[in-house]
Structure 1
């Protein structure tokens, strides 16, 4: 049968029978064939939207082109264009396949009548790097031992996904995420999942994306629960986002318009973003704190795709019908201090500058020093960075959820990473391998060590059980947060429930509002 313009051919389903370890599922666009690995059915690289190139570049995600026959679903889709951080741009070289918008599914039992809880992972990476195909996000263990269907996916990053471009919708990366959730709604039953029990979970920029999706009208009804791990407080005003996009376009001698930027390749555009990131110091007068933290892209509070910040949306009741887990690690900043070569090297001047830039309010510097009288320069430096970027935005998201009439469960990961001789503490990103149970053979080894011990295995098993129980019925096993008792779960070798332990920081930030970050007038 010759394909129509709306479809593309794959092998006929009437060809030689596939081996029994090759499960088949029919999606709304066509049939897919996966594999069986580690006791679950795995389907990789299924498109949930058309490739965002050509006429679709800088547009909202477009429908998938259907196919005839059975499409192999055995390899991850290609990563979207990446920033050059940690060499991630090498993952998506120029000329590679442009079918970036794909999902991957791990299912214990891919049958329509199974109706298992569904967990959809939003990867992190500062909105400029990341892909669903890295080993840390392999979902087999979480799916098999937790009795859930795990979904991971790609979304557009950097300039392609988050720059404010004239003639294009804002927040294209967020729109991709909503398109992936619509794919889950329309297809997950065929993979054994229950579309009425969908839980979002994500870390870092993935948690910021989860928070944004909570505030997006277009996502209403697509999920029942959400888990946000280390929510960044960086959301941009339209003016700030437009100024950054203009700087990126100027690197190419272009204007920040669809007409101009469509003339360069995605790789060239990503490189222009890298060039701007490399000299953010010259933009501190206009871009403020994000220039000091090298954060050139983030969701834009544009009034349409994202009407208001997540904190405002939840306080106004947007999450009233959503169950929420939110939390952070104790030493969020420690990983970045190590990456910057500053462990044990932070000076009093660097600590004073960090306090001046990031402490809340006109008297924030004095209040930090008074709240932590015995803290040395490195402790103060790490505290204010941790609080501004991750810890207080996460706590405030829970408090906004409660204020808006919703329910939130709060955690803090306090277990110190044994990797690097224990120098990293409970650092940013440590929760990811613990949540997925992928404790070795991946980048997690740098945090947990080459040979994870029984303590790591036990804590990972506890967290996986709590997350999957929450996905199944909304109860992770500890009390909901309330402004009176402020009980949270401390995730350590022996998890305990206690009042929120970072009370000094909570009090310092209690009157702060996390607004859309402005363009600073000069």
Structure 2
């Protein structure tokens, strides 16, 4: 019996029951919603199934109690002192879904929003308090689904004898579960929107490019899309280095019997030394994570930007955006705020800016009066999130589709206000989890101001309006006016605010990161 099957039913409850393709599940009534947690969408990927594509969940008899989140997949929970990391329940039934619905009635046919979490492709799970979807579902009368997918070595390390991008294949399997089962929970399987942030947004960009995901969703919201996609050669080289940390070969056969905790430790050890691999791994080295989607030519045939420009997702409505000060979070967590030297700026500009030394000169010319810390932050934000996000919208336009764009500029009030509109702030505002996970840092030492609550409500209204109609409430983006929604205490629609950065990256193509050595 798995962990989630063994949860005892609370005394006196008679929760809602829905029959899925694998069997009946009983949820709970919670504050006007029917909530179901820990429903398997695939078999536990352990034993001979480890490092393989997800397999359909086995049917069960009777009524399964869907009261508790399933256990998180094995992962590295250490992000420079990240607060609020939850270990969750233990067990191997990692691949589970959770549903918040206003009514478990097949006749309701409500819009469905499927959340894909971020976490550098090495951490994260659907049971994190920050992803409690009750506000979105209850306030906006939509069905919200969250789910676990494999991260780190289990989900993304490129191994011989295993498919690439297993974490993405898990996501496809979860979306197939939604298509097959969500009507019983009151959702419309023909009106599915995927939404996610950071690695979750990179996953959504991948899904838009994957033949195996075609037709599984109608709309997509990608918040802070990272530009890091690995070439097959780079991913295999990283796998060799990681497996060597564990004293093994980078094959599914050689790693299947290794305790996941040992492989997590190997990934942590490698991540701590990645700067030593700059001559070999180039721009991937400073990311301190050897995990990203791999352009393997099969599961992921090409980069999202090329795929969208070729029309791969022209039938999908797209909403994308980023935060103004994405990299500020990493400066603060790394103790680097105000301490970046000009020598460090020179190194990062030459590594990340388009054109190497010419890119350094162009950045210094475009931002002549900023401090070394601010210039470091600007190029890191542009390279990792802002420009990949904007270019995804432009690729969608080039391929015959449409896109809406936003930028979050409202600054987080916590920690004396130094965090600005940093990475992950949009997640806290969207879900309203001010005291959960990184929300504790973003709002630390500060009351939640009224303008934050108003902006939070605006996020939910815009995202759910887009899920219903394809219109979040502001004009679509085009390459002439370049209108975007600026989300602040006084939201406005204006030309894309980061025009200097946009011009610096104009014509640059985000290619799979190569193996240099």
Q: Does the TM-score normalized on the shorter chain lie above 0.5?
A: yes
Q: Which residue of 1 aligns with 2:246?
A: 252
Q: Which residue of 2 aligns with 1:48?
A: 41
Q: Which residue of 2 aligns with 1:482?
A: 478
Q: Which residue of 1 aligns with 2:516?
A: 520
Contact kept, 8 Å, 2:85 with 2:437, in 1: the verdict is no
Do residues 511 (structure 1) and 507 (structure 2) align?
A: yes
Distance of aligned partners of 1:366 and 1:442 in 2 relative to their CA distance in 1, 3 Å threshold: closer
Contact kept, 8 Å, 1:448 with 1:456, in 2: the verdict is no
| TM-score relative to the length of structure 2 | 0.96
Matches within 5 A, 1:112-511: 112-362=106-356, 363-449=358-444, 450-511=446-507
Counterpart selection for 1:19 from 7, 13, 17: 13
Contact kept, 8 Å, 2:86 with 2:128, in 1: the verdict is no
Do residues 30 (structure 1) and 23 (structure 2) align?
A: yes
| TM-score relative to the length of structure 1 | 0.95
Q: Which residue of 2 aligns with 1:78?
A: 71
Please report how far the alpha carbon of residue 288 of structure 1 lies from its aligned counterpart in structure 2 after TM superposition: 1.0
Specify the SS of the correspondent of 1:85. Answer: coil
Higher deviation after alignment, 78-87 or 186-195 = 78-87
Please report how far the alpha carbon of residue 441 of structure 1 lies from its aligned counterpart in structure 2 after TM superposition: 5.0
Q: Work out the CA distance in 2 between the residues paired with 1:54 and 1:226.
A: 34
Please report how far the alpha carbon of residue 79 of structure 1 lies from its aligned counterpart in structure 2 after TM superposition: 0.5
Please report how far the alpha carbon of residue 319 of structure 1 lies from its aligned counterpart in structure 2 after TM superposition: 1.4
Distance of aligned partners of 1:36 and 1:231 in 2 relative to their CA distance in 1, 3 Å threshold: same
Residues 260-288 of structure 1: per-residue CA shift (max 9 Å, x gap)? 01121112112111111121122111111
Residues 19-51 of structure 1: per-residue CA shift (max 9 Å, x gap)? 34x111111100111111122111001110000
Q: Work out the CA distance in 2 between the residues paired with 1:342 and 1:9.
A: 42
Residues 315-344 of structure 1: per-residue CA shift (max 9 Å, x gap)? 000111000000100001000000110111
Aligned residues: 511
Give unpaired runs (5+ residues) of structure 1.
none
Q: Work out the CA distance in 2 between the residues paired with 1:485 and 1:257.
A: 50
Instruction: Give RMSD over aligned pairs.
Output: 2.1
Q: Work out the CA distance in 2 between the residues paired with 1:118 and 1:18.
A: 30
Please report how far the alpha carbon of residue 102 of structure 1 lies from its aligned counterpart in structure 2 after TM superposition: 0.5
Give unpaired runs (5+ residues) of structure 2.
none
Please report how far the alpha carbon of residue 349 of structure 1 lies from its aligned counterpart in structure 2 after TM superposition: 1.3
Residues 180-222 of structure 1: per-residue CA shift (max 9 Å, x gap)? 0000000000000000000000000000000000000001110
Counterpart selection for 2:98 from 97, 101, 104: 104
Q: Work out the CA distance in 2 between the residues paired with 1:510 and 1:9.
A: 50
